[in-house]
Amino acid sequence: MQKKPSKLTLKENYREKALQKNYHFILQKGKFRGQILHATRVIREMQHNLELGPLETLVLGHAYMAVLVMAANLKDQGRIQLDINCDGPIGGLSVEADKHGSVRGYLKHNPIPLKEELTSLDLAPLFGNGTMKVTRLEDKSKSPYSSTVHLKYGNLGQDIASYYLESEQIPSQINLSINFGKDGEVLAAGALFLQIMPGTDEDELDKLEKAAANLPSLGESYAQGTQPQEYLQAFLGEFSPEVLKKTPLDFFCPCSKKRIGKFLQQLPKNDRKYVMKGEFPMSLQCHNCNSNYSFSQKEVEELFSEVK
């Protein structure tokens, strides 16, 4: 069962939930499209549920926000899964989000094993060499579509922008930002995603890229009380931002004891025999949300007896 952050008052919880949205907007009457996320609560719940330290929260939180913006423009039943495999201390991660703003996922190494303390927030050495696989599931009747690229930067924002340029020939920019308090807890988190639309000329693109390169930290701005629409007007106002819609965001995992039980039933016969020789009660953990499910010997026997 997913946990909610316990340090917030009821009023603070209500305010965070109301703010937690993806704002879809256009610039210059549709020459550019974008999304700006207020994802503080999502990332805080991720940190709390998965019991992550600040570094692990930074790495996985960036991936959560990145896949949320990638999934937002899919069809109604669309879903995107982002898988990274690398030879650095991070080892890799797996995150998925759907069209409706639900996201879940995990790090392969938690905590991330470090030989020495970090001297900067450059995460490239922690990723090392590796690949990024993007899997799109837009229709249940169709097979998933996957595309794999090599990590070039060890920076998720830059690597995803590179992915869009290579796979879809769309110049894009994504800024991912998380602000922490002195205790290592998430204070604020957000993402800004920009894409050029067909027919926009190079001069206009250069002008926006220069403006985007000088934007202040979104996480710091949120921590100081700035709202997404205020941020757009303050720093991209010259491009006439127009918010088209707001959609919810949610850290959500559909796991349940019944669902885990079905996975047990899918085990090969020899594996089922091995399970029955183990200790009970048996505890199984969902790696996407850290929920634990306990099964007694009788419960497992009943599950296996239903297998044809």
Mean per-residue pLDDT, 3-26: 75
% the chain with pLDDT above 70: 95
Name the DSSP letter for residue 224: T
Tell me which CATH code domain 10-251 carries. Answer: 3.55.30.10
Which pLDDT band holds residue 224 (cuts at 50, 70, 90)? very high
Residue 213 to residues 37, 151, 216, 297: CA-CA distances in angstroms? 18, 21, 9, 59
Are 132 and 114 spatial neighbours (Cβ–Cβ below 8 Å)? Answer: no
Phi and psi torsions of 281, nearest 5°: -65, 150
Burial 82-115, CB ≥16 within 10 A → b, else e: bbbbbebbbbbbbbbbbbbbbbbbbbeebebeee
pLDDT in tens, 257-295: 999 999 999 999 999 999 999 999 999 999 999 999 999
Determine the pLDDT at residue 202.
87
Cβ neighbours for 193, distance < 8 A, ≥ 6 positions apart: 34, 35, 36, 37, 69, 172, 173, 174
- Domain segments of the chain as ranges: 10-251, 257-305
Topology at the third CATH level for domain 257-305: CBS domain Like (3.90.1280)
Which pLDDT band holds residue 121 (cuts at 50, 70, 90)? confident
